[in-house]
Amino acid sequence: MTGAPEDAVVDKSQLISDKDRRRALFGSAVGSAVEWYDFFLYGTMSALVFGPLFFPSDDPVSSQLLSLAAFAFAFAIRPIGGIVFSHIGDRIGRKKTLVITLGMMGVATVLIGLMPTYAQIGVWAPIILTLLRLVQGLALGGEWGGGLLMAVEYSPRKKRGFYGAMPQVGALVGLALGNLAASASSAIFSEADFLSFGWRIPFLFSIVLVAVGFWIRHTVDETPSFKMVQETSKTAKLPLVETLRHHWRSVLIAVGAKIIETSTFFLFATFTVSYAVSLGFERNEALNAVLIAAVVGIPMMLLMGSLSDRIGRKKQFIVGAVLVAAFIVPFFWLINQGTFFSLTIAAVIGFGVIWTSYGSVIGTFFAESFPAEVRYTGVSLGYQVGAAIAGGTAPLIATALLAQYEGAYLPVAVFIGVCAAISIVAVAFAKDRSGQELD
């Protein structure tokens, strides 16, 4: 802060209508919901049906591995999507870019639901499915940064944390919808009908989310921050080059901050399921525990976002990182009690409460770290690189540590502690711009 009285700071965001803000918020949340709905739905179907239907093999394990490999390809290409679409977003605008990414996601997801199987078109089935997954990966790489900026750049100065939490709320909604859609389809249809056509319905349902997202995003004007860039002729010619040349320190801080957020997200949202099943829980019990935690996390995310507007994002992030490192041992202890109640309590406290304390502020924190002309590129770099380092690898590392130490979970707690320490050190070097003008 500059030290000027609070009422002396002119809040330019007050010139934006409440109607435009609501549209921006819903547009941001819907895109994020589509992204995570697709992510968890595709992951679930990879485990249930894609192996035998698209990657048939005499060895079921090989079939399953090929199916999951196609799923993993999207992670590899997401950073490329982030670079490509952040360049477009910083050059031609956030709105146009988000319409493109949402359209790519929607078309690819619906086409997956319409895909002929290996038995119908042979080897072209896995090839086309993999290509569609890669299209999704490209689109998803650009969606988060743009959706975040749609919310943050429309936000009032004193409510930026609340607005910035909305894309993360969309992620939890998408997670819940994906779990519900997959569970409902498998429960309604017989095994034969589910393999025949039941699995397709959740993919086709995504067209409803996409249609709503298109309608909302079509009615939203370009963000005030990008308008300012255009009016002042500050548009970056090569946003990536300018970001790395002039804002590399902010990129490193963002990558470091992302480590604890993404590692614990996948630990709580995905690893919890496989770990609980390995202890003897039914898969539905494990999925329901995570689903309950996600539902609890939706209002908590908004509450935590609002709290950061009052106490500061830097302080809240560091406190949350310390709490999650301290909770990992109790988290595993609760799961090992062997009851659905204790499993649910562990998931709710870890995922629904503690994770939201820092998960809610990370987007706003990223956005406040970069100037408007390279903001899309800066937030996308921090997010995608951090996610690549600690996102998909966290469950693998946790699984490997449990196997290496014969089920002892203290090494996993140490791993999470290291992730937390990296993020705390990174954030300690950042400036807290809570309450200041964004541009």
Distance CA 84, CA 134 (A): 14
pLDDT value of position 70: 66
Of 220, 235, 250, which closes a domain?
235
Q: Is residue 3 part of a domain?
A: no
Boundaries of domain holding 30 = 18-235
* Statement to judge: residues 196 and 60 lie in one domain: yes
Q: Is residue 8 part of a domain?
A: no
Q: Is 10 helix (H, G, I), strand (E, B) or coil?
A: coil
* Statement to judge: residues 252 and 367 lie in one domain: yes
pLDDT value of position 347: 96
**pTM, rounded to two decimals:** 0.84
* CATH code of the domain containing 255: 1.20.1250.20
* Statement to judge: residues 432 and 378 lie in one domain: yes
DSSP letter (8 states) at residue 222: P
* Statement to judge: residues 245 and 226 lie in one domain: no
pLDDT value of position 213: 76
Give me the helices (H) in 189-238, please: 191-193, 200-219, 224-231
Q: Report the Cα 140 to chain-centroid distance in Å.
A: 9
pLDDT value of position 4: 43
Instruction: Please choose, from the candidates 86, 81, 439, the residue with its C-alpha nearest in 3D space to the C-alpha of residue 236.
Output: 86
Q: Is 407 helix (H, G, I), strand (E, B) or coil?
A: coil
CA distances from 400 to 8, 263, 405, 408 (A): 55, 15, 9, 11
Amino acid identity, position 382: G
Annotate 95-138 with DSSP letters as a single string.
Answer: HHHHHHHHHHHHHHHHHHHH---HHHHTTHHHHHHHHHHHHHHH
Distance CA 270, CA 293 (A): 12
User: Based on the structure, what is the number of domains in the chain?
Assistant: 2
Q: What is the mean pLDDT of each run of 10 residues along the chain (439 residues)?
A: 44 66 82 79 74 76 64 75 88 84 87 91 89 86 86 89 91 84 78 84 85 78 83 81 91 95 89 86 85 93 95 95 96 95 96 96 92 90 86 79 86 94 95 82
Instruction: Please choose, from the candidates 22, 204, 188, the residue with its C-alpha nearest in 3D space to the C-alpha of residue 112.
Output: 204
